[in-house]
Amino acid sequence: MAHGEPTPQQGESPWVFPSDFPLKIMGRNVDGFADAVAQVVLRHAPDFQPATMELRASSGRNYLSCTCTVRAVSREQLDALYRELTAHPLVRVVL
């Protein structure tokens, strides 16, 4: 926080909306994983462009990480997106 800026009150979010918010979603490197991630993200961020998703396979190629940067408009939107991603059977970790 810059000098002179007020600190967030208890219960307030330090995030400013709207803002670009990167999410890293990891799971097994199986057919359809990236498409499944994109479908979930699009439900919560309809302006997300799946072509911008960054994919990276693990060194053993057993796992795949998808980085999706969404234009977040609220904490509630991010919470709902995180909940749906973490509940998906193909997803192992969301950061």
Tell me if 17 is assigned to some domain: no
| 82 is a domain residue | yes
> Does residue 73 lie in a domain region?
yes
In a domain, 11, yes or no: no
In a domain, 75, yes or no: yes
Helix (H) or strand (E) holding 66: strand 63-72
| pLDDT tens-place string over residues 30-60 | 999 999 999 999 999 999 999 999 999 999 9
pLDDT band at 1 (very low <50, low <70, confident <90, very high): very low
Position 88 in a domain:
yes
Read off the pTM: 0.85
Amino acid of residue 44: H
Q: Among 45, 41, 39, 40, which Cα is nearest to 19's?
A: 45
Structural domain harbouring 56: 33-94
Q: Identify the pLDDT of residue 59.
A: 98
Residue predicted with more confidence, 64 or 6: 64
Domain count of the fold of the chain: 1
The answer to whether residue 14 is domain-embedded is: no
For residue 15, tell me if it sits in a domain.
no
Alpha carbon of 34 to those of 31, 44, 49, 66, 94: distances in Å?
Answer: 8, 16, 13, 7, 13
pLDDT at 18 over 80: yes
The mean pLDDT value for 14-24 works out to 93
